[in-house]
Chain A
Amino acid sequence: MIPAAFEYHRPKDMEGVLAVLNEHGDDARVMAGGHSLIPMMKLRMADVPHLIDLQDVGGLSGIDISADSIRIGAMVTQADIIDHAELASVAPILREAALQIADPQVRYMGTVGGNVANGDPGNDMPGLMQCLDATFTLVGAEGERSVAARDFYEAAYMTAREDEEVLTAITLPRPQGGYAYEKQKRKIGDYATAAAAVQIVKDGNVCGSAAIAMTNLSDVPVFSEAAGAALFGTSVDDTALKSAVSAMLDDIDPTEDNRGPVAFKRHVAGVILRRAIERAWSRA
């Protein structure tokens, strides 16, 4: 496979990146690990006359953990997430999800920033970041702005990021309570048939709060506020689980593809969410 020719840029800093973006507009694309973009370029489904490789841009690969929040640079790889002991202890759901993404070779290259910025409904990090109420930092010629993960996704590959902006970091509050990232896939390395991210707080014997997001069950990740609300104040018993699943099913909109027909996906979504809630609750 030979992708179409392009001009290659490897700027040393963000000013350099923004200069190329401003000069070439939507003829330019930034690339982090490249494991979504390069396959698309090889298939000639993505046309990128100017490719901007972020690997030499400083300040994008840190993981900073403070008393109440976590900041992850866009170039942090899935392998970095898995290997970071402190992160695994303060936000174990990130490691649990990263271990279910692709395979070892891809995880060395694939980045968290690329995963959330790409807008592919199959990517796992967008739903996870919605569950965790993360905020994305976008840098453009006008400066910096923040967009909540829950407001970022508009349609498949369409996000709140402007063509001339770069997603540079993800910030999230330190997650509280029990967690689970549960993913059903056809084989290791595959995108989800259905996946669920659950973070749940136990208050005495009842659920004090629950955040639930689903992956690959619509053209965008689905943060199901109603599913979380269905668990609130309950003892997360069978009745509560059923109403959370039913609320989630009202929020997703899967389409038929090579992972199965709609009825199957809805069935799997229900099974996966139930398992995720049960596991998160057992850890809460």
Chain B
Amino acid sequence: MSKKMHITLTVNGKEEEFLAEPRELLIYTLRERLNITGPHIGCETSHCGACTVTLNGKSVKSCTMFVAQADGAEVTTIEGIGGPDSLHPLQEAFKEHHGLQCGYCTPGMITRAVKLLEENPNPTEEEIRFGMAGNLCRCTGYQNIVKSILAAAAEMNAAKEAAE
């Protein structure tokens, strides 16, 4: 056992403070310490992207980050993106276009897609496939995921235009 560290994290806008060993991986902090179980543990080897969260504005795989590195950071998980009563346009589009089957990869997919559309609000199909390459899905064959993201982008752009 190494010495515990005092950690401060802002998760989905809420400040969390606790003592943790530096070796604790961020995905375990979220799931087991803070009971935020949207981000999933898939491969645990930084391939599958099921654990994707947004950390200080970047999409990261939370299985490949020590909680000590994240000390002081702002983290957004799927819980901070939308809920049953207020679905994010991406969540709505995944539901509408069958962007999921078992749903295991979906929180990571959507968390990553939110960031992708932030950086590139009007992506081509190819840009979506390339920008989502860090997230694996074993059910859909990706076709409907791409379709969902394209639909959400169109929806979000239309809403933005309407607001202007």
Contact with A along B1-36 (1 / 0, CB 8 A): 111010000000000000001110100000000000
Q: Which of A1-9, A158-166, A230-238 contacts B (4 or more CB under 8 A)?
A: A1-9
The answer to the question of B88 belonging to the interface, with a C-beta cut-off of 8 Å to chain A, is no
The answer to the question of A55 belonging to the interface, with a C-beta cut-off of 8 Å to chain B, is yes
- Identify the interface centre among A35, A103, A189: most chain B CB within 10 Å of its CB: A103
A104 and B44 contact, CB distance less than 8 A: no
The answer to the question of B91 belonging to the interface, with a C-beta cut-off of 8 Å to chain A, is no
Given A34-B64, A38-B66, A108-B60, A3 and B23 touching (CB < 8 A)?
A: yes
The answer to the question of B68 belonging to the interface, with a C-beta cut-off of 8 Å to chain A, is yes
Closest to B58 in A: A108
Closest to A188 in B: B133
Residue in contact with B65 in the complex, picked from A2, A34, A188, CB distance below 8 Å: A34
Q: In the complex, which residues 108-163 of chain B have their Cβ closer than 8 Å to any Cβ of chain A?
A: 112, 116, 131-134
A38 and B65 contact, CB distance less than 8 A: yes
A8 and B5 contact, CB distance less than 8 A: yes
Q: For the complex, what is the distance from the CA of A34 to the CA of B55, rounded to whole Å? A: 15
Query: Which residues of the other chain, B, contact A7 by a CB distance below 8 angstroms?
Result: 2-3, 22
Given A6-B23, A53-B68, A109-B64, A35 and B46 touching (CB < 8 A)?
A: yes
What distance in Å separates the Cβ of A273 from its nearest Cβ neighbour in chain B? 25
Given A1-B44, A8-B68, A39-B64, A105 and B49 touching (CB < 8 A)?
A: yes
B59 and A5 contact, CB distance less than 8 A: no
A109 and B60 contact, CB distance less than 8 A: yes
Q: For the complex, what is the distance from the CA of A35 to the CA of B60, rounded to whole Å? A: 11
Closest to B69 in A: A53
- Identify the interface centre among A10, A53, A102, A105: most chain B CB within 10 Å of its CB: A105
The answer to the question of A271 belonging to the interface, with a C-beta cut-off of 8 Å to chain B, is no
Size band of the interface chain B makes with A: 20 to 34
Closest to A37 in B: B64
Q: For the complex, what is the distance from the CA of A41 to the CA of B134, rounded to whole Å? A: 21
B69 and A55 contact, CB distance less than 8 A: yes
The answer to the question of B76 belonging to the interface, with a C-beta cut-off of 8 Å to chain A, is no
What distance in Å separates the Cβ of B115 from its nearest Cβ neighbour in chain A? 8
The answer to the question of A24 belonging to the interface, with a C-beta cut-off of 8 Å to chain B, is no
Interface size on A, residues (CB 8 A): 28
A39 and B133 contact, CB distance less than 8 A: no
The answer to the question of A42 belonging to the interface, with a C-beta cut-off of 8 Å to chain B, is yes
Q: In the complex, which residues 95-129 of chain A have their Cβ closer than 8 Å to any Cβ of chain B?
A: 102-106, 108-109
What distance in Å separates the Cβ of A60 from its nearest Cβ neighbour in chain B? 15
Query: Which residues of the other chain, A, contact B71 by a CB distance below 8 angstroms?
Result: 10
The answer to the question of A63 belonging to the interface, with a C-beta cut-off of 8 Å to chain B, is no
Query: Which residues of the other chain, A, contact B112 by a CB distance below 8 angstroms?
Result: 104-105
A105 and B22 contact, CB distance less than 8 A: no
The answer to the question of B40 belonging to the interface, with a C-beta cut-off of 8 Å to chain A, is no
The answer to the question of B45 belonging to the interface, with a C-beta cut-off of 8 Å to chain A, is yes
The answer to the question of B77 belonging to the interface, with a C-beta cut-off of 8 Å to chain A, is no
The answer to the question of A51 belonging to the interface, with a C-beta cut-off of 8 Å to chain B, is yes
Contact with B along A46-71 (1 / 0, CB 8 A): 00000101010000000000000000
Contact with A along B79-115 (1 / 0, CB 8 A): 0000000000000000000000000000000001000
Closest to A4 in B: B23
Q: For the complex, what is the distance from the CA of A1 to the CA of B26, rounded to whole Å? A: 12
Query: Which residues of the other chain, A, contact B2 by a CB distance below 8 angstroms?
Result: 5-8
A8 and B22 contact, CB distance less than 8 A: yes
A103 and B69 contact, CB distance less than 8 A: no
Given A6-B23, A189-B47, A105 and B61 touching (CB < 8 A)?
A: yes
A–B Cβ pairs within 8 angstroms, 19 of them: A2-B25, A3-B23, A5-B21, A5-B23, A6-B22, A6-B23, A8-B66, A10-B68, A10-B71, A34-B65, A35-B46, A79-B58, A103-B133, A104-B59, A104-B134, A105-B52, A105-B112, A105-B134, A109-B65
Known: A105-B134, A106-B46, A189-B133. 6 other contacts (CB 8 A): A8-B66, A34-B64, A34-B69, A55-B69, A106-B134, A189-B134
